[in-house]
Amino acid sequence: MLPRVILHTATSLDGRITNFPADLELYYTLAAQWNPDAILFGSSTILAAPTLEVPAEHRKMFTPPADGPDPRPLMVIADSRGRVRCWETLRSWPYMRDLIALCSGSTPDEYLDYLRQCRIGVIRAGEQQVDMRAALEELNRQFGVRTIRVDSGGTLNSVLLHEGLVDEISILVHPFIAGGRADPTLCDPLHAGIRDLQVPLTHRHTEVLGNGIVWSRYTPQKTG
């Protein structure tokens, strides 16, 4: 069974997903409403993220209860090429209960050995690239993942949209012109090797929040 997939993204008014002061507190407050079982990242997003010092209060806040199941989500990173080498640092973050790498048949054996040494769970799906549909099905089958929030850039987003795997798109448009280069954006199909990507959407809800951020939610229309 496929999990429910939500793309939740903060953008500037001119469509950038970087180079502007995103309201991260609002972003994560709204993100929590889906109570995801896993959060999916692309390798480029992880590599571009700064190494953040985890505040002491966060460690206490995200410490799981001594008894009962751990409510924190899984951290899942699609990394067919074996680029992410900071798994031990990621393991120290208190926000996730465990780590999983999505790999493919082309992932180097050296990298798979490295993941085993780091005690990282691995799902292999696809030949040259990660077969996201198969990988999501395995996340559901092996780990009981029913809802996934995607925290990634336009490459992985494009793959998920192209494969018809996205159930909801949530956009926080900030009152800010970021300027600069035209990418990265919410959707970068050419970077994903997709020549044409057009996804009609059904509008579900829009509201203007107190700080001028416009929050809109859409459902991709299933085609074909």
Q: Which residues of 161-190 are buried (b: 16+ CB within 10 A; e: fewer)?
A: bbeebbbbbbbbbbebebeeeebbbbbbbe
pLDDT in tens, 37-59: 999 999 988 888 765 555 555 55
Tokens of 223: 């085609």
The Cα diameter of the chain in Å comes to 51
Domain 38-49+72-145 has CATH 3.40.430.10: yes
| Higher-scoring residue by pLDDT: 219, 93 | 219
Q: What residue spans define the domains of the chain?
A: 2-34+153-224, 38-49+72-145
Architecture (CATH level 2) of domain 2-34+153-224? 3-Layer(aba) Sandwich (3.40)
pLDDT in tens, 68-113: 687 889 999 999 999 999 998 898 888 888 999 999 999 999 999 9
Strand partners, 218: 169, 203
Q: Determine whether 60 is exposed, middle or buried from the number of CB atoms within 10 Å of its CB (0-12, 13-18, 19+).
A: exposed
Q: Determine whether 194 is exposed, middle or buried from the number of CB atoms within 10 Å of its CB (0-12, 13-18, 19+).
A: middle
- pTM for the full predicted model: 0.89
The Cα 161–Cα 147 span in angstroms is: 16
Q: Residue 106: what are its φ and ψ, rounded to 5°?
A: -90, -5
pLDDT at 141 over 70: yes
Which whole number is the average pLDDT over 194-206?
Answer: 91
pLDDT at 142 over 90: yes
Question: At 137, is the pLDDT very low, low, confident or very high (cuts 50, 70, 90)?
Answer: very high
Whether 2-34+153-224 and 38-49+72-145 share one fold: the answer is yes
Q: How many CB atoms lie within 10 A of CB 17?
A: 22
Q: 63-72, 121-130, 168-177: which has the minimum mean pLDDT? A: 63-72
Instruction: List, as own/partner pairs, every contact residues 49-54 make where C-beta atoms lie below 8 angstroms and the sequence separation is at least 24, other chains included.
Output: 51/86, 51/89, 54/92, 54/93, 54/94
Tell the residue number behind the tokens 């159930």, with chain if given. 167
